[in-house]
């Protein structure tokens, strides 16, 4: 596994692996807005990740139940913060677990898990956020990154997203309310159907899904040849050709990137 920040700011991704578990969290950008929490997103993902790994030490525990417990435990670590603030630190979640010949997966928001199998590639992700506020999203994408207009419209988008985040009318992410765990997408796959898996943040998957500069076959070939570091370097090489987001409109020139490669 490997993880790298997208720029000069601290990395808001978090990843971990054990012999049976892979976890990737992608902290949601605050776009410079207040959150009601004095700790910040890197603190939040580090504590949520460690609590999630601990909660899933019991192999019989459902992934969503472990996530719910981890969310509750992290909330108790900073009760002095305004956890009711709609901008309270939050994150996407992707979890893969190997259990007695079965692969359990959980995704909450858009950090995907990709399986490589004899029949091709299967992608598990949660794109409900894409259905929210498309007009403002389109407006953000009209501006080049690092411009005042981009920053202003991005802040308007984040403020609007906060109003529908973790509501039935919007989309779900890991934040302060354990209820969000019950809205994660989960499933089971026989290990015999999977040769390898990659758990990643969307800062990596966009090489395929948004930039369309690689296929999933290319991704796994790079992971096997040079490991996660080479795959992240491939993303950065593509982004360097479009630093202001003219070819590929986006929220940042480079996003934090994390990938865990799992093989059996």
DSSP 161-175: HHHHBTSTTSB--BS
In this prediction, residue 142 carries a pLDDT of 96
In this prediction, residue 264 carries a pLDDT of 87
Taking the mean position of all CA atoms in its chain, how far away is CA 257?
A: 9
- Look at strands 91-99 and 102-108 and give their pairing: antiparallel
Q: What is the pLDDT along the chain (264 residues), one digit of tens a residue?
A: 999 999 999 999 999 999 999 999 999 999 999 999 999 999 999 999 999 999 999 999 999 999 999 999 999 999 999 999 999 999 999 999 999 999 999 999 999 999 999 999 999 999 999 999 999 999 999 999 999 999 999 999 999 999 999 999 999 999 999 999 999 999 999 999 999 999 999 999 999 999 999 999 999 999 999 999 999 999 999 999 999 999 999 999 999 999 999 998
User: In this structure, what DSSP letter does residue 122 have?
Assistant: E
Whole-number Å distance between alpha carbons of 23 and 260: 8
> Most distant CA pair in the chain: distance in Å?
53
In this prediction, residue 172 carries a pLDDT of 98
Which parts of 166-213 are beta strand (E)?
185-190, 196-200
* Residues linked to residue 96 through DSSP beta bridges, in sequence order: 22, 105
Residue appearing with tokens 């890197």? 42
Residue appearing with tokens 């709609």? 86
Whole-number Å distance between alpha carbons of 143 and 252: 11
Rg of the chain, C-alpha, whole Å: 18
Task: Find the length of the chain.
Answer: 264
C-alpha distances in Å from residue 53, one per residue of 208, 216, 218: 28, 27, 30
Whole-number Å distance between alpha carbons of 152 and 175: 24
C-alpha distances in Å from residue 191, one per residue of 130, 197, 264: 31, 10, 9
């Amino acid at each position: 596994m490997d993880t790298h920040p997208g720029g000069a700011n601290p990395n808001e991704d978090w990843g971990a692996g054990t012999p049976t578990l892979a976890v990737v969290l992608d902290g949601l950008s605050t776009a410079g807005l207040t959150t009601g929490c004095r700790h910040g997103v890197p603190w939040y993902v580090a504590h949520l990740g460690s609590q999630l790994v601990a909660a899933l030490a019991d192999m019989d525990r459902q992934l969503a139940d472990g996530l719910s417990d981890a969310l509750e435990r992290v909330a108790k670590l900073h009760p002095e913060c305004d956890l009711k603030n709609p901008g309270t630190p939050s994150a996407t979640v992707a979890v893969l677990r190997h259990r007695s010949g079965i692969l359990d997966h959980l995704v909450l928001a858009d950090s995907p898990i990709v399986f490589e199998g004899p029949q091709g590639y299967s992608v598990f992700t949660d794109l409900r956020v894409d259905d929210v506020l498309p007009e403002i999203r389109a407006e953000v994408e009209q501006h080049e990154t690092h411009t005042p207009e981009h920053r202003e419209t991005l802040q308007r988008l984040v403020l609007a997203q906060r109003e529908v985040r973790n509501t039935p009318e919007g989309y779900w992410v890991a934040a302060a309310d354990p209820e969000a765990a019950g809205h994660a997408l989960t499933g089971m796959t026989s290990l015999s159907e999977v040769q390898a898996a990659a758990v990643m943040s969307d800062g990596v998957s966009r090489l395929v899904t948004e930039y369309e500069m690689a296929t999933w076959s290319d991704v796994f070939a790079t992971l096997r040849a040079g490991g996660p570091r080479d795959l992240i370097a491939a993303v950065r090489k593509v982004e360097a050709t479009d630093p202001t987001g003219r070819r590929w409109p986006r929220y940042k020139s480079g996003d934090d990137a994390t990938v865990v490669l799992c093989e059996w």
